[in-house]
Amino acid sequence: MQIHVAHIRERAQSGGWLSCVFDARSTSGTAADNSHLLARLTVAAKAANLRVDHAALAFVTAGRLQFFGSHSFVQVLSKRGLPSWTHSLTI
C-alpha cells in the first residue's frame, strides 16, 4: 500500500519541530484502529529516515477533511489545513 506523507517543520504547541501527516485512515475508522495505523506509519517513516516528533492521519469522511493524531498537532492542522505531500511510503 502506498501512503502519501507530508513531512513538515512545524512548531507544535507542546514542543517539537518535525511532524508527519499521513494520507490514511484505518478500514474501520475506529479510534483504536486509527491509533494502531498511526503508530505503524510513524515506525515506517522513522525507518525511512524521517524524523517524527508529532504525527497525524488526514482523511476525508462524509466530504469533510479530518485529522487524527497528536492533539496539539491536530489543532495546528485544523487551523492551517492540509500541507502538500512531500514523500511516500510503501507499507
> Which of 4, 3, 12, 5 minimizes the C-alpha distance to 71?
12
Q: Which three cell numbers stand for residue 64?
A: 469533510
Residue 14 is predicted with a pLDDT of 61
Residue 37 is predicted with a pLDDT of 96
Residue in this structure with the C-alpha cell 498537532, named with its chain if needed: 73
At position 3, the amino acid (one-letter code) is: I
Residue 76 is predicted with a pLDDT of 86
Helix (DSSP H) and strand (DSSP E) numbers for the chain: 2, 5
Render pLDDT for 31-44 as a digit per residue (tens, 0 to 9): 999 999 999 999 99
Render pLDDT for 54-89 as a digit per residue (tens, 0 to 9): 899 999 999 999 999 988 889 889 999 999 999 999
What Cα–Cα distance (Å) separates residue 9 from each residue in 1, 6, 31, 41? 25, 10, 26, 18
